[in-house]
Structure 1
Amino acid sequence: MANPTRWATDTGPEHSQWYIDRFRRLAAEGADLAGEARLLDALVPPGSRILDAGCGTGRVSAALAARGHTVVGVDADPALVEAARADHPDPHFLVGDLAELDLAAAGEAEPFDAAVVAGNVMAFVAPGTEPEVLRRVAAHLRPDGVVVVGFGTDRGYLLADFDADAVAAGLRQEHRFATWDLRPWSDGTDFAVTVLRRPADPTAG
């Protein structure tokens, strides 16, 4: 990993275990942890191949796998990936830095129909790597593949920068919402869920 992520530098040594315990507790309490997965499931055909970029403890991956999709989850934090593997046996989880994402080297050469980048992942990658993260995720999509990115707009990564980085990564914006359950977006909203697509023909208008 060339540069440590903000997840590693901006949180304490016990943060990963706190995060694991938190989501295990929420799952045990019956909390709805599948909102992001429902949106992705609505955007893709049955049995799609989906990349969960920044998968954390695997809750989105697991919900997508339960809906019949083939899911590969990637996260830079080995503790989170270990918990994901323990709690959710169906998806394939890998440790990896999204700014260096090369799944073909890890035996996952087939392109993805879709990718999801949830849980404020873009606010936790290493500073300055946001454009490369989006480029690497986009490169793993098949032509006409879709990627949905959600993050808080008050966490240091400006939405205007994200939009420019997405364009530079070869992605085109199709929709923007304020929540994963599709509430309307407006200027000043403190969370953005953006649906992007890798064009089938990048030269088309």
Structure 2
Amino acid sequence: MANPTRWATDTGPEHSQWYIDRFRKLAAEGEDLAGEARLVDALVAPGSRILDAGSGTGRVGAALAERGHTVVGVDADPALVDAARADYPGPTWLVADLAELDLPALGEAEPFDAAVLAGNVLAFVAVGTEPQVLRRVAAHLRPDGVLAVGFGTERGYPLTAFDADAVAAGLRVEHRFATWDLRPWRDDAAFAVTVLRRPAD
């Protein structure tokens, strides 16, 4: 990894295990952890190939796999990937830095119909690598593929910069919502969910 992620630099050594335990507890309590997956599922055809970028403990990718999609999840934190492999053995879970993402080199050469960056992923990549992350994820989409991205609007990555970086990555902004359950966008929203597309031509 060329630059350590903010997930590594801005949290303590116990943070990953806390995060794993937190989501295992929420799942055991029956909490709804599939909201992002429901939106992505609605954007694609049945049986699509989906990249869960910044997959964490695997909850989004696992929910998409349960809906019949082929899922590859990628995260920079080996502890989170190990937890995903243990808890959700169906999808493929890989350790990789999104800013340097090269899935063909890891044996996943086929492009994806869709990708998702959920859970404030862009707030935890290495400082200044957000444009690279968008470029690398976009490069793994097939033409006309979609990318759904969600992050807090007060996390230090202005939406104006995000939109410009998305366009520079060859993506087109199609929709923006205030939540993963499609509540209308408003300028004072604390969270932004953006649907982007890699144009077919």
Q: TM-score range by the shorter chain?
A: over 0.9
- SS of 1:12's partner is coil
RMSD over equivalenced CA pairs, Å: 0.3
Question: What letter corresponds to residue 114 of structure 1 in structure 2?
Answer: A
The percent identity for this pair of structures is 85
**Gap runs ≥5 in structure 2:** none
1:115-155 deviation per Cα after TM superposition (whole angstroms, max 9, x unaligned): 00000000000001000000000000000000000000101
Q: CA deviation at 1:190?
A: 1.0
CA distance in 1, matches of 2:11, 2:176: 29
The corresponding residue for 2:115 is: 115
What residue number does 1:14 align with? 14
Give the partner amino acid of 1:55: S
Distance 2:83 2:166 in 1: 31
Deviation at 1:106, TM superposition (A): 0.2
For structure 1, the residue ranges without an aligned partner over 5 or more in a row are none
Residues 57-109 of structure 1: per-residue CA shift (max 9 Å, x gap):
00001000000000000000000000000000100000000000000000000
For residues 17-61 of structure 1, give each alpha carbon's deviation from its aligned partner in whole angstroms, at most 9, with x where no partner exists. 000000000000000000000000000000000000000000001
Partner of 2:46, secondary structure, is: coil
Q: Which residue of 2 aligns with 1:52?
A: 52
Matched, 1:24 2:24: yes
The amino acid of 1:16's aligned partner reads: S
Distance, in Å, in 1 between the alignment partners of 2:190 and 2:4 is 26
Q: Which residue of 2 aligns with 1:99?
A: 99
Partner of 2:3: 3
Aligned length: 201
Normalising by structure 1, report the TM-score. Answer: 0.98
Q: Which residue of 2 aligns with 1:74?
A: 74
Q: Deviations over 1:160-193 (max 9, x none)?
A: 1100000000000000000000000111111000
Residue 144 of structure 2 corresponds to residue 144 of structure 1: yes
Query: Could you say what secondary structure the match of 1:82 adopts?
Result: helix
Indicate the residue corresponding to 1:41 in structure 2: 41
Aligned AA (2:156): G
Distance, in Å, in 2 between the alignment partners of 1:76 and 1:161 is 23
User: What residue is the counterpart of 1:178 in the other structure?
Assistant: 178
Measure, in 2, the Cα distance between the counterparts of 1:125 and 1:158.
15
C-alpha separation between the residues in 2 aligned to 1:7 and 1:160?
Answer: 23
* Shift >4 Å, 4+ stretches: none
1:160 is matched with 160
Partner of 2:89: 89
Provide the rounded CA distance (Å) in 2 between the counterparts of 1:161 and 1:8: 23
1:130 match: 130
TM-score, normalised via structure 2 length: 1.00
User: Could you tell me which amino acid in structure 2 is paired with residue 200 of structure 1?
Assistant: A
Q: Distance in 2 between matches of 1:17 and 1:61?
A: 19
